[in-house]
Amino acid sequence: LEAGLPLHGHDMDATTSPVETDLAFVLSKSRKEAADFPGAERILKELAEGPSRKRVNLIVKEGAPAREGAEIADADGNVIGVVTSGGPSPSTGNKIAIGFVPPAFTEIGTELQVLVRGRPASATVVASPFVPTRYYRKPKA
């Protein structure tokens, strides 16, 4: 969760596309051109037109942590999405969550609400990952 990676069975499943989860980079140019992979019609359409929902990372500012199934609402309280993973983040000291909302609500800094046990708690869309990586990449020769 802190790495901002979608967990299969929670943040992604057979109904979720790589475009919605920001994993479309795994499709090579040649595969996209050939359109010979499972789900090609849907995925290529979403790449061209945009998906109906996108994955977001949220920091929950108050109350209890948002867990899987908690609803996400816009600033006016209209339900627009759902949390797919969430909990406390020992590394950041925040309550964090991953969920899906319409693309219009995915800009970093967007103020949203999560409904935890029916109570609204303010949340902010943040960049992925929650904790910066320190992967070592060997320089190209």
Assess if residue 138 is contained within a domain. Answer: no
The β-bridge partners of 55 are 100
DSSP 24-53: GGGS-HHHHHHT-STTHHHHHHHHHH--S-
What are the angstrom distances between the C-alpha of 141 and each of 18, 106, 134, 135, 136? 32, 38, 21, 18, 15
Q: How many CB atoms lie within 10 A of CB 123?
A: 30
Quote the pLDDT of residue 101. 98
Question: pLDDT (tens digit, 9 = 90+) per residue, 8-65?
Answer: 999 999 899 999 999 998 899 999 999 999 999 999 999 999 999 999 999 999 889 9
Range of the domain at 117: 1-130
Quote the pLDDT of residue 133. 80
* CATH number of the domain to which 123 belongs: 2.40.30.110
| pTM of the shown model | 0.88
Quote the pLDDT of residue 4. 86
Contacts of 24 (CB under 8 A, 6+ apart): 18, 43, 47
Assess if residue 30 is contained within a domain. Answer: yes
Mean pLDDT, the chain, integer: 93
Assess if residue 72 is contained within a domain. Answer: yes
Number of domains making up the chain: 1
Cis before residue 38, ω within 30 degrees of 0? no
Instruction: Read off the amino acid at residue 97.
Output: A
Quote the pLDDT of residue 140. 82
Structural contact between residues 88 and 65, judged by C-beta atoms closer than 8 angstroms: yes
Question: pLDDT (tens digit, 9 = 90+) per residue, 61-113?
Answer: 988 999 999 999 999 999 999 999 999 999 999 999 999 999 999 999 999 99
